[in-house]
Amino acid sequence: LEADARGDARSRKQVDVILRASQRMKQLIDDLLDMANIRTGRLSMDRSAWPAAALVNEAAEVHGPLAAAKGVSLDVRLDIGDESVCCDHGRIQQVFANLVGNAIKFCAEGDTIRLLAAREAGMVRFSVVDSGPGIAPEALDHLFEAYWSAAQHARKGSGLGLSIAHSIVAAHGGRLWVESTVGEGSAFHFTVPIIES
């Protein structure tokens, strides 16, 4: 019985490794397809009205367990009412997935990630703010370049995620930018137009 249990544990571990590898491969393929579509001007967008608060809360719900598993707290602070934005829901969640995923990846146990939303000149400004290690000043100008990764993080991703996120936000008529201080953390902000009632 004990040998069977050990065999089952080994099998589960092998399946888990295969699943993680296939997920990474799928993400890489999706990123490459998105990048090709961006370069040819064919990135698909299906815009409709979405409550801004619901977009933030969904991102927190999806990524909360990943943050908790690493000992990172994830909280939401909304400075908006019932504003809706005109967006492609899946694409905006893709932006959140990249920004929050990166924050979780680089934060350490005990760090904090905040998801924020506030109204700003006909837009909603969404922010992902972390208390992680921050980004070196010399890297800030390159963050949104395709295939670029800082030397210390070169093996942690494809180098496409932030570039794709930047293009998705631009396609919505907004902008994506970053503020960061080494040793204090980073804040990624992006804007999406509000649907005025």
pLDDT, tens digit (0-9, with 9 covering 90-100), for 6-52? 667 777 777 766 766 566 555 555 555 555 555 666 677 778 999 99
- What local confidence, expressed as pLDDT, does residue 17 receive? 63
- What local confidence, expressed as pLDDT, does residue 150 receive? 54
- Measured on CA atoms in the order 80, 87, 123, 112, is the torsion positive or negative? positive
Alpha-carbon distances, residue 153 vs 55, 126, 136, 159 (angstroms): 29, 25, 12, 9
Share of the chain above pLDDT 70, in %: 75
Q: Is the pTM of this model over 0.75?
A: yes
